[in-house]
Amino acid sequence: MTYSGYYLFDSLWVKQNGRWKYFLALFDLKLNTIVSKELVDSETIENAYSFLNRSLANQEKKCIITDLKPEYRVAIDRLKIKQQFCKFHIKQLINREIKKSIDKNDYSDEEIGLIYDYKSVMFDIINSNSIDDAIEIRDKLYEVNTSFPMIIKDLAWKLIIPEFKKITNHLTDKNIVLTSNKIENCFLKNFPKYIKKIFKSDEGILKRFDLKLMYWDVNNANY
């Protein structure tokens, strides 16, 4: 099978004999189906790299859309493939880190106001409709300095600025989607929560998924 070059990459936790395993999956956006899968014992950089490297051998490699797991980021960077962060996951991360920081620190009302002002700037970048707009908004973050609350410095200088391309690649290629919804929906249909804990072997997990994926392809695939 020839792949399109545009992918979603994620993993699903599945319990086997009381122990969690990880179901790595590569979803082709144009074919609208999972094109490669593997069960592994842990979500390491090496496991992600090995899976993607093998799955994408002799295939087009335009872009992979992922959540923000460091293991995925490093593995895909090592493969020199363009990445796009899922819009919902990056917003979720920003919200979570800001909440944790506010709960932990005794910020003044002024500092809290500043935190939320710059959260809005970051969200405006994520929601931009053009790369020029995103760059213009991004440049506002260069004013973030040592006088700012640590959470804003961390988000600006360790996430948004260095990973700007991975947040905005979709603005320069209409084939790149903003979310990982399709693979998450495929997971949900094939492995609902009540099913995820009943397996006794790798073969049982893979056999069930292959069977369910056949039905998914009939109802959803674009080919």
For position 216, what pLDDT does the model report? 57
Say whether both 13 and 68 belong to one domain: yes
For position 189, what pLDDT does the model report? 57
**Residue 173 domain-assigned (yes or no):** no
Q: Are strands 33-40 and 63-66 parallel, antiparallel or unpaired?
A: unpaired
**Residue 203 domain-assigned (yes or no):** yes
End of a domain among 144, 167, 190?
167
**Residue 12 domain-assigned (yes or no):** yes
Mean pLDDT in consecutive groups of 10 residues from the start of the chain, 223 residues: 93 75 89 88 94 96 94 95 96 97 95 96 97 97 94 96 97 93 69 51 61 58 53
For position 1, what pLDDT does the model report? 81
Say whether both 46 and 110 belong to one domain: no
Which CATH number does the domain housing residue 50 bear? 3.30.420.10
Say whether both 110 and 137 belong to one domain: yes
Residues 148, 114 contacting (CB under 8 angstroms): yes
Say whether both 76 and 148 belong to one domain: no
For position 223, what pLDDT does the model report? 47
Say whether both 138 and 203 belong to one domain: no
Say whether both 207 and 105 belong to one domain: no
Contacts of 101 (CB under 8 A, 6+ apart): 107, 115, 149, 150, 151
**Residue 215 domain-assigned (yes or no):** yes
Instruction: Give counts: helices (H), strands (E), the chain.
Output: 9, 5
Say whether both 126 and 58 belong to one domain: no
For position 191, what pLDDT does the model report? 57
- Phi first, then psi, for residue 162 (nearest 5°) are -70, -25
Say whether both 189 and 81 belong to one domain: yes
**Residue 174 domain-assigned (yes or no):** no
**DSSP assignment of 75-123:** HHHHTT--EEE-HHHHHHHHHHHHHHHHHHS---HHHHHHHHHHHHHHH
Q: Which residues of 182-203 are buried (b: 16+ CB within 10 A; e: fewer)?
A: bbbebbeebbeeeebeebeeee
**DSSP assignment of 161-190:** TTTHHHHHGGGG-TTS-S--HHHHHHHHHH
**Residue 58 domain-assigned (yes or no):** yes
Domain encompassing residue 134: 87-167
Please state the domain count of the chain: 2
For position 95, what pLDDT does the model report? 97
